[in-house]
Amino acid sequence: MLRLYVVVALSFSLPVVASPRQGKQTYAFCAVCHGERGEGNHTVGAPQIAGMEEWYVREQLLKFQQGVRGTHPEDIAGMRMRPMARYLQNTAQIEAVSAYVAALPTLKSTSTLKGSWVKGEVHYKLCIACHGADGKGNSQLKAPALVGRSDWYLLTQMRNYKAGVRGNDPKRDPVGMTMRPITMTLDEQAMIDVVAYISGLR
């Protein structure tokens, strides 16, 4: 009886370690929307996530889980993602699936928008300080890479920040809030143009 108790107590106190196998197993669930190769699915609004930075995947999963993202009534796509993040049970599982997503080879994204690359280049000057001239992001500023992401998804997120649908919680999401003032300076066409420019970056 005592021995059984010790075994049970031990199994609960053992540190949870992220394993590659756990990442793969967990990802099978994500693949339903984000695709086997992380290529995304426009119809359900799930973006391409293959090769996304590990730290960024982790932070967004935590934001969805904690209800910092995907709770605004107008955020239909975010609300689709939120229960999926809540399904992840512990830090180890989040770490494992983030590592798995980051290790998926980055795919070329196909353009779905018609914008002016030339005008977009001018607007993109506003973005360089954080996302880099090459669009590869800056982990120190928590600004993700924008290259390799689906253009329709980038546009949706610009609109979301502008409308206060994402990055609207000063206490819990100061990082997300940094995007709001920038999007406020851009109208719809300017957002389309800047996304067209980003899609053309290699």
104 binds ligand HEC (CB under 6 A): no
Q: Which stretch binds ligand HEC (CB under 6 A): 3-11, 14-22, 44-52, 107-115?
A: 44-52
Furthest CA-CA distance within the chain: 75
The whole-angstrom separation of Cα 72 and Cα 57 is 20
68 binds ligand HEC (CB under 6 A): no
> String of b and e for 84-116 (b: at least 16 CB within 10 Å)?
bbeebeeebbbbbbbbbbbebebbebeeeeebb
Structure-token pair, residue 48: 């391409």
- 17 contacts 71 by C-beta, under 8 angstroms: no
50 binds ligand HEC (CB under 6 A): no
Please report how close the Cβ of residue 200 comes to ligand HEC at its closest, in angstroms: 13
The residue (of 10 and 65) whose beta carbon lies closer to ligand HEC is 65
The whole-angstrom separation of Cα 32 and Cα 36 is 8
143 binds ligand HEC (CB under 6 A): yes
- What residues line the site for ligand HEC (CB under 6 A)? 26, 29-30, 32-34, 44-47, 49, 57, 60-61, 77-78, 80-81, 84, 88, 97, 101, 123, 126-127, 129-131, 141-144, 146, 149, 154, 156-158, 167, 175-176, 178-179, 182, 194
